[in-house]
Amino acid sequence: MIKRGQVTIFIIVAIVIVASAAAILLLVQTQKPVESPEVKEVGNFVSTCLQQVSEDAIIAVGEQGGYYNLPERTNYFSFFPKPYYIYETEDLVPGMQVLELEISKYIKDNIDFCLADFSVLEQKGYDVKKTGSNKISIRIIGSDNSVGVSAKIPISVSKGNSTSLVNDFYTIVKPVRFDVLLRASNEIVSSETRDPRTMCITCIQDIAENYGLQVTITETDDRNDFIYALADDQSNFTEFLYEYSFAAKYKFPDCATTEECFNKLI
């Protein structure tokens, strides 16, 4: 049985706990830094650049089959070179981690061109300087059809007698269905590498349609090489169809007539 004195002690302890929690919360709130107008304006400028360059990176990587720096096995027939996903019987489809790495490389190499030494901000009286190198991290979220971009761009911002440091920026590009595009690519490649002597056009079209994609197959100057382009109207972060393309190398039989070709395929 709990005595009255014990109840009083419990009440006092509860009051102390609640008061302590309130004091900690108040302390955290009072210590939270207030973002100055200068920091906010510079942050908005950098974030706008990050958004634009991230979108450019996703478009460029799509044009080059998931790559910014192209692999050794690449077809250079078109204006945008295409990596081989199909190389006779070899399956060369990259994984999602490769796409994330390639997008981050593009952004890291090109973000400073957009920032343009902060000349736009200097015209407004700011003294803005980079204090270190850029670090970019990418996360492709299939369930959300999005690409999250985290960037550490260390910047010193000065105006008048005030100097502040800004480091962390984040943006998101959506919708981008990289998971769908990669799954469709994998199925196409799996179908076509079983026998590099033939191309199953209906198989390719069926796979694309199952994923809600449009597919175009373009001939090159090599009778064995083709360019595949998967167009996705659901990856519509711009006003245009999003295109994801790659190359395929077959090993068609050397024959002159339909009968001769058929006999060589038996």
Q: What is the pLDDT of residues 224-246, one digit of tens each?
A: 999 999 999 999 999 889 999 99
pLDDT at residue 26, as a whole number: 45
pLDDT at residue 163, as a whole number: 87
Structure tokens at 210: 């199952």
Summarize the confidence of residues 46-70 as an average pLDDT. Answer: 97
Alpha helices in 143-256 (DSSP H): 178-192, 201-210
Summarize the confidence of residues 115-136 as an average pLDDT. Answer: 92
Lowest pLDDT segment from 2-6, 162-166, 187-191, 216-220: 2-6
Residue of 10, 42, 56, 179 lying closest to 120 (CA atoms): 42
What's the count of helices (H) and strands (E) in the chain, helices before strands?
Answer: 7, 10
3-state secondary structure of 99: helix
Q: What does the pLDDT look like over 168-189, one tens digit per residue?
A: 999 999 999 999 999 999 999 9
Q: What does the pLDDT look like over 70-110, one tens digit per residue?
A: 999 999 998 889 999 999 999 999 999 999 999 999 999 99
For residues 28 and 135, what is the distance between their CA atoms, to the nearest angstrom? Answer: 29
For residues 62 and 83, what is the distance between their CA atoms, to the nearest angstrom? Answer: 11
pLDDT at residue 32, as a whole number: 42
